[in-house]
Amino acid sequence: MTAAVVAASAALAHFVVGSRWEDVPEDVRHEAKRSLLNIFATAFAGSRDPATGIAIEVLAGLSGPATATVIGRRERFDPLTAAFLNAAAANLHDFDDTHHPTIIHPTAPVAPALFALAEGRRVAGADLLHAFILGVEVECRIGNAVSPGHYRRGWHITATCGVFGAATAVGRILGLDERRTLWALGNASAQAGGLVETLGTMSKSIGVGNAARGGLLAALLAERGYSGPERPLEGPRGFLPVTADAPDLAAITGGLGGRWELRRNTHKPYPCGVVLNPVIDACLALRDDPDLVPGRVAAITVHGHPLLRERADRPAVTTGREAQVSAQHAVAASLIFGAAGIDEFSDAAVADPRVQALRAKVAVVEDPTFPVEAARVVVTLEDGSRLASDVPHGRGTPMRPLADGEIEDKLRRLAAHGCPGLDPAPLIDAVWSLDRSPDPGALMAFTRPAET
């Protein structure tokens, strides 16, 4: 057994406790703010979804003292419940950020737990931002260690790894020492769960909501002395050997404090699985071709990385939620509507006869020479002629990241969708200046609609 194997859990605890704000590079701090802007945007989008409404109805009678905000709504709940609701809502439309190469959505499990805590325990903005960065670092490094076998086994990696990120981020705010941070990781390991089988259903977001809630609970318990295993990650029956084929422990310990995972975080231009970004880009480019008339299309072939077929080869979708992970729907909707927003991944769009007809003509072909961020779409017309579009790097991928202004526009657009009438300008300003704020929990007031 190597030193890396023995020390993985302890190494993370040591790093989290010893990290200094001044050691975090400026570009990493900036990327953290971009990620927070993006998660507020996607939480607004999910705030009025039926799934959020059902969850609020169920949890309203079970909540403790109402001290924490639910983004986009007037209701308030206890911190654990608010963390669950905000994380679940932020992930509902599959519009949240994506870490490469794990495909973890890192912000949804971590940020809601931190802000729920910050509304009741006043902390400095720089401390909250630092804790967020550390939480993302932990969850993504664990994700690196278990990928790609973890997802292929059927684990929903955002939920399973996200609980560790939330636990360590909250633990940092609580000032846990190394031993109690290790306990927080152990308490998180007892709650790690989430299945790929739930994708395309409301259940998917339960796992993400539970990751935020569970991480917050894990740290609060550790603060009071609730102990856990010494090696929750690498122990013989720890998270890593149980959920991965061949865990890479060096991916957890290597370069801690030098290689920052937030630098590999990206933000989606479309509300669907990240593997569909280049596919949609290709289709939107093809739509400008005057020879492309949907009624004349005989067949469409989508070429991409094996993960595209593995995750998104779903021709027979019946709901907007299923459509979020369907290459067939993404192609058909993009070509029919010339757009790929929330409306294009709705139940109504799925039921559109034009979309249904075109969707039936789409086939997905895997090609291991393609990177995940690339795709090729070939349209064969009835006369035998072909139109093709190649996208080496889709929008919202590491080589073509969204600009700061595009993320701000996304927040404005999704706030208007989920919370009409709310002015997002104060929230945007508050996030950009978060590291100078004496009370970051106060910005949650900017996420609530006005009284009517």
Query: What does the pLDDT look like over 268-287, one tens digit per residue?
Result: 999 998 899 999 999 999 99
Q: What angle do CA 263, 278, 136 make, to 5 degrees?
A: 25
What local confidence, expressed as pLDDT, does residue 452 receive? 57
User: What is residue 282's predicted lDDT score, i.e. its pLDDT?
Assistant: 97
Residues 35 and 172 in one domain: yes
Instruction: Mark whether 24 and 105 lie in a shared domain.
Output: yes
* pLDDT higher than 80, residue 5: no
For residues 137 and 163, state if they share a domain: yes
Sheet arrangement for strand 386-391: 362-366, 297-304, 375-381, 386-391
> Do 297 and 359 belong together in one domain?
yes
* pLDDT number for residue 191: 98
Residue that wins the pLDDT comparison between 178 and 311: 178
Q: Give yes or no: residues 142 and 226 share one domain.
A: yes
Where is the domain boundary, 359, 391, 423?
Answer: 391
Q: Residue 189 belongs to what domain range?
A: 3-267+403-447
- Residue 388: beta bridge partners? 378
One-letter-per-residue 3-state SS of the chain: CCHHHHHHHHHHHHHHHHCCHHHCCHHHHHHHHHHHHHHHHHHHHHCCCHHHHHHHHHHHCCCCCCCEECCCCCCEECHHHHHHHHHHHHHCCCCCCEECCCCECCHHHHHHHHHHHHCCCCCCHHHHHHHHHHHHHHHHHHHHHHCCHHHHHCECHHHHHHHHHHHHHHHHHHCCCHHHHHHHHHHHHCCCCCEHHHCCCCHHHHHHHHHHHHHHHHHHHHHCCCCCCCCCCCCCCCHHHHHCCCCCCHHHHCCCCCCCHHHHEECCCCCCCHHHHHHHHHHHHHHCCCCCCHHHEEEEEEEECHHHHHHHCCCCCCCHHHHCCCHHHHHHHHHHHCCCCCHHHCHHHHHCHHHHHHHCCEEEEECCCCCCCCEEEEEEECCCCEEEEEECCCCCECCECCCHHHHHHHHHHHHHHHCCCCCCHHHHHHHHCHHHCCCHHHHHHHHCCCCC
- Residue 100 lies inside a defined structural domain of this protein: yes
Same domain, 199 and 97: yes
Under 8 Å between Cβ of 377 and 302: yes
Contact 234, 251 (CB under 8 A): no
* 365 exposure class (CB count in 10 Å sphere: 0-12, 13-18, 19+): middle
301 and 410 housed in the same domain: no
- The pLDDT of 260-268, averaged and rounded, is 97
Same domain, 172 and 233: yes
- Domain membership of residue 235 (yes or no) is yes
Question: 114-160, pLDDT tens digit by residue?
Answer: 999 999 999 999 999 999 999 999 999 999 999 999 998 999 999 99
The CATH code of the domain that includes 41 is 1.10.4100.10
Asked if 372 and 433 sit in the same domain, the reply is no
Determine contact, residues 365/301, Cβ cutoff 8 Å: yes
pLDDT above 90: percentage of residues in the chain: 93
Tell me if 139 is assigned to some domain.
yes
Q: What is the pLDDT of residues 167-200, one digit of tens each?
A: 999 999 999 999 999 999 999 999 999 999 999 8
Is 336 among the domain residues?
yes
- Residue 4 pLDDT greater than 50, yes or no: no
**Vertex 182: Cα angle to 230 and 436 (nearest 5):** 170
Domain count, the chain: 2
* CB 108 within 8 Å of CB 39: yes
Q: What is the mean pLDDT of residues 317-329?
A: 95
CB atoms within 10 A of CB 403: 10
Tokens of 83: 């963390």
**Cβ(97)–Cβ(220) below 8 Å:** no
Average pLDDT, the chain: 95
Same-domain pairing of 252 and 375: no
Shared domain check, 85 and 195? yes
**Residue positions counted in the chain:** 452
What values do phi and psi take at 296, rounded to 5? -100, 5
Q: What is the mean pLDDT of residues 33-51?
A: 97
- The answer to whether residue 397 is domain-embedded is no
Query: Per the domain annotation, does 396 fall within a domain?
Result: no
Distance between CA atoms of residues 406 and 391, nearest Å: 20
Residues 239 and 310 in one domain: no
Mean pLDDT within 330-357? 96
- Whether 240 maps to a domain, the answer reads yes
The CATH number covering residue 289 comes to 3.30.1330.120
pLDDT of residue 266: 96
Confirm whether 398 is domain-assigned: no
